[in-house]
Amino acid sequence: MPTKRKSSTKKRSASKKTAAKKKSAQKSLKGRIWRFIKKIILLSIILGTIVLGFYSLYLNNLIQDKFEGRRWSIPAKVYARALEVYPGLKITVKQFEKELRLAGYRKDKKSSTQGSFSQNGKRIELVSRQFKFPDGDEASHKLRIQFNNSSITSIYDLEKRRNLSLVRLDPILIGSIHPRLHEDRLLLAQEEIPKKLKNTLLSVEDRNFYHHYGIDPKGIARAIWTNLKAGSTVQGGSTLTQQLIKNYFLTKERTLVRKINEAIMSLLLEYHYSKDEILTAYINEVYLGQDGRRAIHGFALASEYYFKRPITQLSQPQIALLVGLVKGPSYYNPRNNKQRATKRRNTVLKVMLDQGVIQKGDYEKAVKTDLGISRRWSRNNSPFPAFLDSVKNQLQENYNQDDLTDKGLRIFTTLNPQVQWAAENALASQIKSLGKKRSKDLQGAIVVSHRDSAEILAIVGGKNSQEGDFNRAVNARRPIGSLIKPAIYLTAFEQGYTLSSLLNDKSFSAKSVKGKLWKPKNFDKKEHGLVPLHVALAKSYNLSTARLGMEIGVDKVLNTVRSLGVETDALPYPAVLLGSLTLSPMQVSQMYQTMADQGFYSPLHTILSVQDENNQTLQQYPVRVERRINESLVYLINANLQEVISMGTGKGLSHYIPSHYNIAGKTGTTNELRDSWFAGFGNNLVGVVWLGRDDNKPAGLTGSSGALKVWGKMMKQLDVGTLEQNQPENIKWFWIDSMNQLKLTGRCINAEFLPFIKGTEPENTESCSSGQYRDKNKTNWLKRLFN
């Protein structure tokens, strides 16, 4: 019995030891597992910290690279010419007001702030805007301008109390060259931000802005409580720093990763930059509306877009409205949702009242005021797309695309809105006068330049001037018809022909392309026999002109065309002599510009100067002048082109422009009346008009019945000027009998008064009292008396 107990005790002892060993082993295993887990956790923390550190370093570099470099892509802004106002300027009250409105001026009952004007009959009072021109700053002026029926009679400075002889107004912004995102903004420097804007923005969006480090837990809790009490969202939980990070660096997707990035980057931004720098960046970055494809960013541009006022001139209710738009520019758009926008503005004002930012009296007055939104004023599309297209073409010769869309360039151009409107109106009026059936598919293009400077003042690319898809003035190449004839006659003068030389206006044929016979015809289908050279051009005879061109050489004629400023690789086929040469209205304008400027070639241009965003001049475009054609030869051709208007195919111009203006010009018509052309110039302006169809079907118009009428209607509205040519010393005028090649002693019957280069006039002289002129001369004077 004792032996059995001893054995049982040993077994229990062994079992306990075994259990203890198992328990110890399990405990040891758990310890090892826990230590392993702690190591894993520690390692994960270390690795996570390293990854977070590197990621934070990446975000840090991202912030610094973008925030310290060029923060925004600022589109290039393109301006029209500055309007220089002086007594005697030919402009009506209506025209002047139209230009002010296009420049963004507001019409008020009384002009009081910059960019405002008022009108009373033939008197306009305005406060001009201060503006930085390439040649210096122009101060703001408070002016009273008096008009008569057609021009300005006086300019009075209301502040300095004196009459002014000249004042320059800020130019019209005619367009912008936007980056791909179509963002637009006007930048405010820190010192330019109005105190009212700061106070309003911080009251609503981030009242603890100057006390947190980018993230504000208290602000989040307070916003939740305020919104619950109000029953709607009146305050946001994100700080301004977080909003700036979200708008400037991150996408709009709502994910946990983006929120983590937002928090880290907000802390980093606050670490590197001052509060005022961050606030200034926010004020310039925030999205506040949409103007077509153009996105309105920043309070400065929003102020101009909604109120036509600089931000410094806004009232407290107006600033409250802009701040209210931060929550939802589309939802609270004051132009589309006036009631909703008013409610949101008043909510902003109530928050300011509750925080003691404004007084109760100011609040009650503010909530009763109208929103004061200006009429819709879009700069999304240029009012002059064809001109802007030409500006871009010229800029691309010197600047790459990034320069034009990112660097805030200011481009000053030659566009004259008054000339542009006159051109657009004339084209529309003439096409409309043809009736719906004839005008349906008819198109047109116009180029107007200044005679002396070669500055392009207006470009019309089509009858629908606001549609800039196809700029016919630059890109449409059409046969120019008889507009080439002056180049033929200039070439003839170089080879010794004179205005009185006799040409044979008789049918002929010549070999042309691939051996085909070329048989030119006159427009009237008649032959005119021997005709003086100046008559052949004035009447636009084809047969005599073609014969002359064949004699002097088609290749030489093309060389003259090139000398006049047209780059062409046309082959010297006979058909070139009657206008098969295809050119754009812009190229034709260059030809006639050189003739108008008496043989001096100056490249037509649309740009005066380019400035960077700091108003430093990068490039100027001075007038380049090069003598291309002998001045005496040009004098002869221009005198002949004046005859085109006085007695030739252009005599219909007298219905629009008095004959004493001595306009020089040329009509052009192509086969089957497909193209109607007119090119002409006075003392101040050069203009080219084309009418035709895009499908190249007959337009049913000659140069005289189509383009000439557009030119006349246009120039009737403008100061084209009485043409005066500087007569070279070797030019002398004579009375001539061209048919008999005689120089006459006076104004006999059949006499023509023509200019000659000395020594080229007819050698033989005949007296008006001689037999063949005496009796005819008496009859002629009697006819003149009755005429």
Active site residues: 205, 482
Asked if 642 and 551 count as a contact pair (C-beta separation under 8 A), the reply is no
> Distance (Å, rounded) from C-alpha 62 to C-alpha 506?
81
Q: Give SS3 for 528.
A: coil
Tell me the backbone φ, ψ of residue 441, rounded to 5 degrees: -105, 10
Asked if 517 and 510 count as a contact pair (C-beta separation under 8 A), the reply is yes
Report the 10 Å Cβ neighbour count for 689: 33
> Distance (Å, rounded) from C-alpha 467 to C-alpha 382?
10
Conformational region of residue 82, where left means phi above 0, alpha means psi within -120 to 50, and beta covers everything else: beta
**Residue closest to 313 by CA, chosen among 304, 325, 323, 326:** 304
Per DSSP bridges, beta strands 84-85 and 123-127 are unpaired
Helices (H), 328-416: 338-354, 360-366, 385-395, 401-406
- Inter-CA distances, 162 with 48, 144, 168, 170, 654, Å: 76, 10, 16, 21, 43
Buried b (16+ CB within 10 A) or exposed e, 262-293: bebbbbbbbeebeeeebbbbbbbbbbbbebee
The position carrying tokens 């169809």 is 693
The percent helix, strand, coil of the chain (3-state, each to 5) is 45, 20, 35
Asked if 237 and 223 count as a contact pair (C-beta separation under 8 A), the reply is yes
- Burial class for 308, CB neighbours closer than 10 Å (0-12, 13-18, 19+): buried
> Distance (Å, rounded) from C-alpha 430 to C-alpha 585?
18
Asked if 589 and 679 count as a contact pair (C-beta separation under 8 A), the reply is yes
Beta bridge partners of 116: 106, 127
Q: Give SS3 for 117.
A: strand
Residue 140, amino acid? S
> Distance (Å, rounded) from C-alpha 473 to C-alpha 485?
21
Start-to-end Cα distance in the chain: 171
**Residue closest to 682 by CA, chosen among 597, 753, 756:** 597
Q: Give SS3 for 648.
A: coil
Tokens of 699: 């337009």
**Residue closest to 596 by CA, chosen among 481, 450, 419:** 450
- Inter-CA distances, 392 with 77, 388, 568, Å: 11, 6, 23
> Distance (Å, rounded) from C-alpha 316 to C-alpha 304?
16
- Inter-CA distances, 21 with 14, 31, 165, 493, Å: 10, 15, 114, 127
Question: Residues in the chain, how many?
Answer: 787
> Distance (Å, rounded) from C-alpha 98 to C-alpha 377?
13
